[in-house]
Chains A and B, each alone.
Chain A
Amino acid sequence: DTAVSQTPKYLVTQMGNDKSIKCEQNLGHDTMYWYKQDSKKFLKIMFSYNNKELIINETVPNRFSPKSPDKAHLNLHINSLELGDSAVYFCASSLTGTGGEETQYFGPGTRLLVL
Chain B
Amino acid sequence: AQSVTQLGSHVSVSEGALVLLRCNYSSSVPPYLFWYVQYPNQGLQLLLKYTSAATLVKGINGFEAEFKKSETSFHLTKPSAHMSDAAEYFCAVTGGFKTIFGAGTRLFVKA
The docked-state distance in angstroms from the alpha carbon of A109 to that of B46 is 16
| Residue from the list B46, B90, B97 in contact with A103, Cβ < 8 A | B46
CB of B80 within 8 Å of the partner chain: no
Contacts of B95 in A (CB 8 A): 100
Q: How large is the interface on B (under 10, 10 to 19, 20 to 34, 35 or more residues)?
A: 20 to 34
Chain A CB within 10 Å, residue with most, of B32, B42, B97: B97
Instruction: With A50-B97, A55-B97, A101-B51 given, name 8 new contacts (CB 8 A).
Output: A41-B103, A42-B101, A42-B104, A43-B101, A92-B44, A98-B96, A103-B49, A109-B42
Interface of B is mostly: strand
Given contacts A48-B97, A50-B97, contact A43 B43 (CB under 8 A): no
Q: How far is the CB of A32 from chain B (nearest CB, A)?
A: 11
Count A/B pairs, Cβ under 8 Å: 58
Between-chain CB contacts (< 8 Å), 18 pairs: A4-B43, A40-B103, A41-B38, A41-B103, A42-B103, A42-B104, A43-B44, A43-B101, A45-B98, A48-B98, A98-B97, A100-B96, A103-B46, A106-B43, A106-B44, A108-B43, A109-B41, A109-B42
Residues 70-81 of chain B, each 1 if its beta carbon lies under 8 Å from chain A, else 0:
000000000000
Interface residues contributed by chain A, number (CB under 8 Å): 25
- A residues neighboring B (CB under 8 Å): 4, 31, 40-45, 48, 50, 55-56, 90, 92, 97-98, 100-104, 106-109
| Residue from the list B34, B36, B43 in contact with A107, Cβ < 8 A | B43
Contact B104 A43 (CB under 8 A): yes
Chain A CB within 10 Å, residue with most, of B31, B32, B44, B96: B44
- B residues neighboring A (CB under 8 Å): 31-32, 34, 36, 38, 41-46, 49, 51, 88, 90, 94-99, 101, 103-104, 106
Contacts of B99 in A (CB 8 A): 45, 104
Residue of B nearest to A101 (CB): B51
Q: How far is the CB of A107 from chain B (nearest CB, A)?
A: 5
The docked-state distance in angstroms from the alpha carbon of A50 to that of B98 is 12
